[in-house]
Amino acid sequence: MEYSFCGKSGLQLPKISLGLWHNFGLVDDFENSRKMIVYAFDQGVTHFDLANNYGPPPGSAESNFGKILKQDLNSHRDEMIISSKAGHLMWEGPYGDGGSRKYLMASINQSLKRTGLEYFDIFYTHRYDPKTPVEETMQALVDIVRQGKALYVGISKYPPAQARKAMNYLKDRDVPCLIFQDKYSMLNRKPEEEIFDIVNEYGTGFIAFSPLAQGLLTDKYLSGIPKDSRAANPNGFLRSQQVTTNLVDKVKQLKLIAEERGQTMASMALSWAMREKDVTSLIVGARNVNQLEDSIKSLLNRSFTKEELIQIDLILDGATL
């Protein structure tokens, strides 16, 4: 495993982090989840990314992680970076969603109980909430650190203007924003427009989620939509209508480049996302140990020739998700 310093902090993150957004809830096979987490740690994946609403049902990914931590990895707690978040709908009523102080404080207390932890290494506001003043949300993060419930704080999916406002507020109170989390992949390059400039300006790390575009940048959809895929799940975030013929054709062309490089399509997509110097780490998801192993192999071939990058850009021209 390779590690990078997170912005201008002294904290190092593995280039590959494991996200527990899918496949770690109560509806999933617990033993399979356990094998993936233990395997990841054995391979040097020291960062595990959670959120209060991960499951399903919401909260169950944190509960399962807490059980696995206690059962298999408890003696390694100080070698791990464990993050969680709050910001999306977690429970019904006016205090179970958004960016209010009430919600964030209640949520982190619940998350600590579910995981059995005394503190999180990183705690995020999961999204910008236009109905709550940024100052209120950021002050909650400041107080979370001062209360010892988290060591560092981060923001996720904030628009550029609100991100600057949030980072300024945190900086002025000596609780700097450690990290910015956002979607980034071959099919979503929006962070290149402004966010990377912002994290450089503030000395903040950047961590990318969905670097495989929820499976589109793999072999999964090259021959149709599998029944067990995210696109086939009516409750998922990837819709079947997003798996267009044009997009699949582009991925088939990208796969030819990957094969010439001796990589799988997924592994090349991760290597490509890591090429960007501002990307501290990639949050990968996995259904099983084999998928996780392939993701980690992306570290073995991270260099791209100028010609390869030009060819990739030509193929991707106009392709977005």
Q: Is 169 helix (H, G, I), strand (E, B) or coil?
A: helix
Q: Has residue 111 been placed in a domain?
A: yes
pTM of the shown model: 0.93
Task: Spell out the per-residue pLDDT of the chain, length 321, in tens.
Answer: 999 999 999 999 999 999 999 999 999 999 999 999 999 999 999 999 999 999 999 999 999 999 999 999 999 999 999 999 999 999 999 999 999 999 999 999 999 999 999 999 999 999 999 999 999 999 999 999 999 999 999 999 999 999 999 999 999 999 999 999 999 999 999 999 999 999 999 999 999 999 999 889 999 867 555 566 554 455 555 555 666 788 888 999 999 999 999 999 999 999 999 999 999 999 999 999 999 999 999 999 999 999 999 999 999 986 676
In angstroms, rounded to a whole number, what is the distance separating the alpha carbons of residues 98 and 219? Answer: 36
Ramachandran class of 224: left when φ > 0, alpha when ψ lies in -120 to 50, beta otherwise = left
- The DSSP element (H or E) to which 156 belongs, if any, is strand 150-156
Q: Has residue 201 been placed in a domain?
A: yes
Other CB atoms within 10 A of residue 302 CB: 13
Q: Has residue 147 been placed in a domain?
A: yes
Domain range for 125 is 3-215+273-300
How many residues would you count in the chain? Answer: 321
Q: Is the peptide bond preceding residue 56 cis, with omega within 30 degrees of 0?
A: yes
Q: Has residue 53 been placed in a domain?
A: yes
The domain that holds 23 is classified in CATH as: 3.20.20.100
Q: Has residue 281 been placed in a domain?
A: yes
Transcribe 239-278 into DSSP letters: -GGGS-HHHHHHHHHHHHHHHHTT--HHHHHHHHHHTSTT
The structural domain count of the chain equals 1
CA proximity to 296, closest of 47, 45, 83 = 45
Q: Has residue 319 been placed in a domain?
A: no
List CB contacts of 259: < 8 A, sequence separation 6 or more.
none
In angstroms, rounded to a whole number, what is the distance separating the alpha carbons of residues 275 and 104? Answer: 34
Q: Has residue 48 been placed in a domain?
A: yes
